[in-house]
Every structure is written in C-alpha cells, then in structure tokens.
C-alpha cells in the first residue's frame, strides 16, 4: 500500500487530491497550516476509505517547518511513495503596489519550499528505486502575467525546475510530473483577491475534483507535464509561437477586472 504526502491538503485541489488518493487505497500524510481542517478531513477520509491518515500542521513558507515535515517522516519510519507539492498561493494587483511581506511569503512557499521538499525526499526515493512526485504549477507557467507578475513567475520556475529534474531522474525508478491546471473552482482566487478578473468572472470553471483526478492519474502514469483541458493545452502551446508583446497584451486584458 502506497503512502502519499500532500501539501496544501486542507482546501481546493489539495483536499480533492487527498480524497482521490485515499479512494485508490493510499495511506496519507496531510500537511497544511490549519490543523483543525486537516483533522476534520482526516476523520472523513478514514471513515470513508479505511486508510491510515497522519496530519502534520506546518507553515511551509518557513523552511524549518519544511525540514520538520521530513524529520517527522524519518523519525516515524514512514517511507513516502508519492510526494505531491500542492501548497501555494497567488496575489492580484500591480507589482509596484504589492505588499512585500506577502510577495516574499509567496516566493518562499511556491518556490523555495517546493524545491526543498524535492531535495529532501528524492534521495530516499532514489535509494529505494521507486517514487513519484507531482508538482502543481499552472498554465500561468507558460507566459508572463501582468497583474499577477510574481505568481506567474513562481509557476514558471516550478515547470522548468520539474522538467529538468524529470530528465535527471531517468533510469532511477523515480518520476516527477508537473500539473498545469488553468483557472479552477477553488479558494485560490479569493485568497489572491482576483474574483473580479475576466479570467474567472462569469466563466464556468472545472472543479478542483476534476483537476485533482487528472493530476493524480498523470503522476501515476509518469507523465512529464500534464495540462488540464484542451483549451488550456492550446493556450499553453500557442504562446510559444506568438510575439512576446502580443502575449503580454492578451494576458493583461484577461487579467484585468471585468
């Protein structure tokens, strides 16, 4: 029976990833800041799926707490078969008017903690010649994003970092998949203060459950990059052949408030 560690597991895609992994028989390590929500989810999952669930409350924008998550797994002799780095958030607005503390926390969580989680767990996976990783990026990874400049840049890092490690891990028995969802029904846009963006307002968006199932199965199938939805696939690939200034103008138009 596999053990799957999921960060950002208390809400949205992370929560749905936890439920779907449990439905496949995985034991779970659930990580997020909100211990109360994690405990409620753990109880629900254990009742529904009869799997083991361990909760670790941690703020992963703090690197000491990232290390703590790994140390707890080692101390309790828990071998991680699947690592899902889902924790992250965004911010909406002009960069010059942004809150630096929030920007710094975003970079720490979206980039540094994800990188450290990979660095901590990958050697153990290589040693046992098996393991799967799912890093959650975004279709934002394929383009610059006016009005969410830092968020888009962090997701570009996740995509390029993960694809490079995918290459490095060939022949080790370990795989790494980058999930790139587009706009999704979740709390993300509330947290980012972007509910009125043309990107989401009035649009029917895929559910977090749909994205989670797609991402988990892509990880299981050892895909390198998984873009959810044909519209998002076309968008992500078309920008490669478009003039950069045109991509910027279109992205800014979409990001502006409706």
Q: What confidence score (pLDDT) does residue 232 get?
A: 80
109 in Cβ contact with 158 (< 8 Å): no
pTM, 2 dp:
0.88
Q: 3-state SS of 90-124?
A: CCCCCHHHCCHHHHHHHHHHHHHHHHHHHHHHHHH
Q: Which of 206, 198, 251 is nearest to 230 (CA)?
A: 206
Q: What is the pLDDT of residues 195-206, one digit of tens each?
A: 555 555 555 788
d(CA 68, CA 38): 17
Q: What confidence score (pLDDT) does residue 192 get?
A: 46
Pick out the chain residues at pLDDT < 70: 186-203, 241-243, 247, 255-258
| CATH number, position 74 | 3.40.50.720
Q: Which of 133, 120, 179 is nearest to 155 (CA)?
A: 179
Angle at 124 between CA 224 and CA 178, to 5 degrees: 20
Q: What confidence score (pLDDT) does residue 203 get?
A: 59
Q: What residues act catalytically? A: 151
Q: What confidence score (pLDDT) does residue 256 get?
A: 65
Q: Report residue 85 CA to chain centroid gap.
A: 5
* Domain hosting residue 14, numbered range: 3-255
196 in Cβ contact with 256 (< 8 Å): no
Number of domains in the chain: 1
């Amino acid at each position: 029976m596999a053990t799957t560690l999921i960060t950002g597991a208390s809400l949205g895609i992370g929560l749905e990833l936890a439920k779907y992994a449990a439905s496949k028989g995985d034991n779970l390590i659930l990580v997020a800041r909100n211990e109360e929500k994690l405990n409620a989810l753990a109880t629900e999952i254990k009742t529904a799926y009869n799997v083991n669930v361990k909760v670790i409350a941690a703020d992963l924008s703090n690197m000491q707490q990232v290390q703590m998550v790994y140390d707890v797994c080692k101390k309790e002799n828990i071998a991680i078969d699947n690592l899902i780095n889902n924790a992250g958030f965004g911010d909406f607005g002009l960069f010059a008017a942004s809150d630096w503390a929030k920007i710094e926390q975003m970079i720490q969580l979206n980039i540094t903690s994800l990188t450290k989680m990979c660095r901590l767990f990958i050697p153990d996976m290589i040693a046992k010649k098996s393991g799967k990783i799912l890093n959650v990026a975004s279709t934002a990874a394929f383009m610059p994003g006016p009005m969410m400049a830092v968020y888009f840049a962090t997701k570009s890092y996740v995509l390029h970092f993960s694809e490079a490690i995918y290459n490095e891990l060939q022949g080790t028995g370990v795989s790494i998949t980058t999930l790139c969802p587009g706009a999704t029904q979740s709390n993300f846009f509330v947290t980012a203060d972007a509910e009125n963006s043309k990107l989401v307002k009035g649009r029917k968006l895929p559910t977090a459950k749909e994205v989670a199932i797609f991402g988990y199965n892509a990880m299981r199938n050892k895909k390198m990059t998984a873009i959810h939805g044909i519209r998002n696939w076309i968008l992500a690939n078309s920008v490669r052949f478009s003039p950069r200034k045109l991509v910027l103008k279109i992205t800014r138009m979409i990001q502006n408030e409706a």
